[in-house]
């Protein structure tokens, strides 16, 4: 062997070793991401899920509940427009995400302490929850870009559906425990506050544990293409002529429609139905367990039949959720509605999430997702404001909340009918009728057992690659 041949063989070995090391880091990072999601779900189950209940405990009005349910998320979404500049400041998606997560976790301290803030306690609660969502959402586009580089596009539906299913089961258990804790502390105001303080403390600790796994994850080199100078206004102008643009408009209209009613379900359950904390928790948990346990089946369907097919099916099933709340106040009926809600939302969310990855090039994802989130934040805020006005001036129904449930459902159907037919599938996928697709998904859940599918997934080697163009 001559010297040149030996050098080439050494270079080849080094390249192979580098590739193997990189693949190992990616595989470990995907495992860490599951732990991150699980502890994040504990935080949501013990903390975020009870923000509205805490506001009701503080005697919030319907207007304040509308603001609480929309303004924080709207601000968090709009401020994502600055995420690109912050990413340049941190020079790392990982550092940016981790810093934001740390600040978000610390917000549980002032959120809990608003109990002592006197007559302005509800508005202070809205302020601190707004900061909570700002810190939680401002790095979303960076996180999506980071995860997009870690997960192979062909396995994306399966991976995220399984990840979300595990996180969902953890969230469900967390909800039940936190609901039991709150019910245990029912009594005078100070006694109930102790219950909220306990669950918010658990939420804070869980988010810090989530942060510890984010810190362990590997970050592939981020390629920032400087030639993409698309501004926010240009992005809006181009949206109607692009597949992803039409999808973003659809999501904005859908979020506007959803948030006409979304901020008021907690008020309806606690004010009108006068549910106990444990009953309130069970209804929320019914949707959570159904949603995340059905995600693996929806995820497989996305990989096989494409995002548009699943988005269309779920997009026409989901709008019925809101009006269904009008037909009965029976607790067990509402549980069935919530199971249905979780099931259809699982399909809608997994398809929507994957549609972004399928239609937007990796180097543009961070910027375009932040643009999309900003538009959606504005849409949901406007929807909540209109919903609040409808609730305030409604005199047509027995419950003042029924009108927003009905109008929200009508607007959701309109969004699906108008925009979904204009979306295009860009991958080569198998063909199937919508009737057979729905039958296959439901029958798989009922005959094969989706819990088994989560706990005992089929063994296969996951192909890892960084996709630079689509």
Listed by start position, the domains of the chain span 26-218+231-455
**Is residue 22 scored above 90 in pLDDT?**
no
CATH code for the structural domain at 26-218+231-455:
1.20.1250.20
Task: Give the C-alpha distances (Å, rounded to integers) separating 107 from 49, 59, 124, 125.
Answer: 15, 21, 12, 10
Maximal C-alpha separation, the chain: 92
Are 220 and 27 contacting, i.e. CB atoms less than 8 angstroms apart?
no
Whole-angstrom distance, CA of residue 327 vs CA of residue 329: 7
Residue 289's pLDDT band, with cuts at 50, 70 and 90, is confident
**Is residue 398 scored above 60 in pLDDT?**
yes
Residue 228's pLDDT band, with cuts at 50, 70 and 90, is low
pLDDT of res. 92: 86
Cα angle, residue 57 at apex, residues 53 and 58 outer, rounded to 5°: 120
Whole-angstrom distance, CA of residue 212 vs CA of residue 40: 11
pLDDT of res. 457: 41
Whole-angstrom distance, CA of residue 50 vs CA of residue 57: 10
pLDDT of res. 271: 85
Closest-CA residue to 405 (of 320, 329, 282, 313)? 320
The neighbour count for residue 266, using CB atoms within 10 Å, is 25
pLDDT of res. 66: 83
**Is residue 266 scored above 90 in pLDDT?**
no
Higher pLDDT, 359 or 34: 34
pLDDT of res. 87: 81
Higher pLDDT, 427 or 133: 133
**Is residue 15 scored above 60 in pLDDT?**
no
pLDDT of res. 42: 94
Whole-angstrom distance, CA of residue 333 vs CA of residue 352: 28
- Please tell me the least confidently modeled range out of 40-54, 107-121, 161-175: 161-175
Residue 382's pLDDT band, with cuts at 50, 70 and 90, is very high
Helix residue spans in 47-137 (DSSP H): 51-57, 62-78, 83-90, 93-106, 108-113, 121-137
Residue 104's pLDDT band, with cuts at 50, 70 and 90, is very high
- Please tell me the least confidently modeled range out of 99-113, 129-143, 146-160, 417-431: 146-160
Residue 466's pLDDT band, with cuts at 50, 70 and 90, is very low
Whole-angstrom distance, CA of residue 368 vs CA of residue 232: 9
With b for 16 or more beta-carbon neighbours within 10 A and e for fewer, the 193-209 pattern comes to bebbebbbebbbbbbeb
Residue 43's pLDDT band, with cuts at 50, 70 and 90, is very high
pLDDT of res. 6: 46
Please state, for a pLDDT cut of 90, what percent of the chain lies above it: 34
Closest-CA residue to 414 (of 319, 346, 344)? 319
**Is residue 373 scored above 90 in pLDDT?**
no
Whole-angstrom distance, CA of residue 230 vs CA of residue 250: 21
Cα angle, residue 127 at apex, residues 389 and 409 outer, rounded to 5°: 35
Averaged pLDDT of the chain:
82
């Amino acid at each position: 062997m001559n010297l040149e041949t030996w050098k080439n063989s050494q270079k080849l070995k080094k390249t192979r070793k580098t590739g193997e090391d990189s693949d190992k880091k990616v595989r470990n990072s995907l495992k860490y991401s599951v732990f991150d999601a699980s502890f994040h779900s504990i935080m949501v189950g013990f903390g975020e899920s009870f923000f509205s209940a805490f506001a009701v405990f503080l005697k919030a009005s319907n207007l304040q509940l509308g603001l609480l349910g929309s303004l924080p998320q709207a601000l968090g979404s709009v401020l994502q427009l600055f995420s690109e500049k912050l990413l340049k400041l941190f020079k790392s998606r990982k550092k940016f995400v981790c810093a934001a997560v740390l600040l978000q976790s610390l917000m549980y301290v002032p959120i809990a302490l608003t109990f002592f803030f006197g007559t302005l306690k509800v508005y202070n609660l809205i302020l601190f929850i707004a900061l909570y969502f700002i810190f939680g959402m401002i790095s979303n586009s960076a996180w999506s870009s980071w995860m997009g580089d870690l997960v192979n596009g062909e396995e994306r539906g399966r991976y995220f559906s399984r990840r979300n299913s595990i996180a969902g089961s953890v969230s469900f258990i967390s909800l039940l425990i936190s609901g039991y804790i709150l019910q245990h502390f029912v009594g005078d105001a100070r006694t109930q506050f102790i219950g909220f303080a306990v669950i918010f403390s658990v939420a804070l600790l869980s988010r810090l544990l989530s942060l510890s796994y984010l810190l362990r994850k590997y970050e592939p080199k981020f390629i920032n293409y400087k030639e993409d100078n698309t501004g926010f206004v240009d992005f809006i102008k181009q949206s109607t002529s692009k597949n992803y643009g039409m999808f973003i408009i659809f999501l904005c209209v859908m979020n506007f429609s959803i948030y006409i009613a979304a901020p008021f379900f907690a008020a309806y359950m606690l004010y009108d139905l006068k549910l106990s904390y444990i009953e309130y928790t069970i209804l929320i948990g019914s949707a959570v367990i159904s949603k995340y346990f059905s995600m693996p089946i929806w995820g497989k369907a996305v990989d096989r039949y494409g995002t548009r097919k699943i988005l269309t099916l779920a997009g026409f099933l989901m709008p019925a959720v809101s009006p269904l709340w009008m037909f009965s106040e029976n607790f067990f009926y509402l549980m069935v509605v919530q199971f249905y809600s979780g099931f259809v939302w699982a399909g809608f969310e997994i398809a929507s999430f994957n549609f972004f990855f399928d239609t937007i090039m990796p180097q543009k994802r961070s910027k375009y997702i932040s643009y999309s989130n900003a538009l959606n934040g504005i849409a949901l805020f406007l929807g909540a404001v209109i919903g609040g006005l409808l609730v305030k001036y409604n005199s047509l129904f027995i419950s003042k909340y029924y009108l927003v449930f009905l109008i929200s459902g009508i607007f959701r159907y309109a969004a699906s009918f108008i925009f979904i037919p204009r979306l295009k599938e860009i991958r080569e996928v198998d063909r199937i009728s919508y009737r057979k697709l729905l039958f296959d998904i439901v029958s798989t859940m009922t005959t094969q057992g989706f819990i088994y599918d989560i706990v005992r997934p089929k063994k296969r080697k996951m192909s890892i690659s960084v996709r630079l163009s689509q």
